[in-house]
Structure formats: C-alpha cells, structure tokens
Structure 1
Amino acid sequence: MKAHFFERLRTSVEQMIAIETGELNVAEEYIHTVKIPDVKNLRIAQRLKQQEFAQMLGVSLSLVQSWELNRRIPNGPALKLLIMLERQPQLFETLKAL
C-alpha cells in the first residue's frame, strides 16, 4: 500500500474515533442516517413465516433470521426493498404475485 493511502486511511480512522467519542463535532449536513426497518415486525404484520418472507424477497432463510436477530443489517437492494415495503405495505401483494 502506498504511504499516502495509508496515511489518509489512518487519519480517517482517527477522525471516526474522535467523532464517536465526542471529541470532534460534525456539522449536521454531513451526518446521514438510514432507519433500518424492523424486519420481524414487517414480516409478522403480513402474517408470513420466515421462509415465505425469504422466498418473497429472494434471500435465504438464514439471512432473514440474522436480520431479525440483529446479527446482520440489511443493505443494498434488500434494504431499499424493505424500506419500500415498510412505507407501502400494499407492495407485498405485488411481490406475492411474482
């Protein structure tokens, strides 16, 4: 690894730690958060078993279980789909039809 890349990485990590410990404040416009959907409540509200929910989303049963136990956090297209389903539950019917 080139020295300047390593130095930038080290500086970024130090800044992250300073932010986490409250030693460094960041302007609100630089803070972006995404609310992670409550996968279990979303599934239960639709009266779906974990396996049915997994098949509907095109993911594995173990992934759904990990989301529900907070061992893993949904990301990428799955996160976007879950957010859409949370905001527009009628989309479940569309997924069931696929």
Structure 2
Amino acid sequence: MNMFDDLKSSLEEAVEISKGDVKASRQANYKIADVKAIRSQLQVSQVDFAHALGMSVDTVKSWESKRRNPTGLAAKVLLTIEEEPILYHALAQQSLDKA
C-alpha cells in the first residue's frame, strides 16, 4: 500500500466514524486547566503566578481570558498544581531563591 492509499483509507474511516457507522478505535480526551481558578485557589497575583512558573504575565492573562490554552508541559504542570497546590509553593520558593 502506498501513502495515497493509506491516506484515502484513513479519510474513509474518518467519514464512517463521523457518521456513526463505526466506533473509533481510540479516543483522546484532554482536560484544560482553569488557570484563573487555580490561581484564585492559591490566592496569588498574576505576576507572582507567572514568575513562579517562569513565564510572562501576558501568557497567564491569555490563559485566563481563554484566548489561548496551556499546552504541553505547562498544561501538565497546571493540572498537577490543581491537584497538589504544594507544587506551586515549591516552584515559587525556587524562583525566590534564584532572585
């Protein structure tokens, strides 16, 4: 089978799945962190939150306004902070120690 045939087969399968004729063999679901809720729970400012995570305040603002969503490692760290707030405090302390 060549690449064209593979792509054609995949697209045909996607159409069948979207019609409900076939069930997808796997499905990925991702939870998007509610950054504002996490930060509010921690009772810290956007500036302090951004500094502890090593990112810009504009990034935090864009996440909180839902203009952008955290991705990759940032998304995983935020979800971990949500479950284990002590991680945030450890990161904040490290950033203070480096200053």
- Shorter-normalised TM range: 0.7 to 0.9
Q: 1:33 aligned to 2:53?
A: no
Matched residues in 2 for 1:75 and 1:69: separation? 15
Amino acid of the structure 2 residue aligned with 1:92: Y
The alpha-carbon distance between structure 1 residues 13 and 97, as it changes in their structure 2 partners (threshold 3 A), is farther
Aligned partner of 1:80 among 76, 81, 96: 76
| 1:62 partnered with 2:58 | yes
Count of aligned residue pairs for this structure pair: 93
- The RMSD of aligned alpha carbons is 2.5
Could you tell me how far apart the structure 1 residues matched to 2:32 and 2:60 are? 14
Structure 2 unaligned regions, length at least 5: 95-99
The code of the aligned residue for 2:46 comes to Q
Query: What whole-Å deviation, never above 9, does each CA across 1:31-52 have from its counterpart, x for those lacking one?
Result: 1112111100000111111111
Higher relative contact order (CA 8 A, sep 6+): 2
Moved over 2 A (4+): 10-25
CA gap of 1:48–1:21, structure 2 versus 1, over 3 A, is: farther
Superposition deviation, residue 25 in structure 1: 3.5
Larger radius of gyration: 2
Give TM-score, length-normalised by structure 1: 0.74
Tell me if structure 1 keeps the 8 A contact 2:52–2:92: yes
2-structure distance, mates of 1:88, 1:58: 18
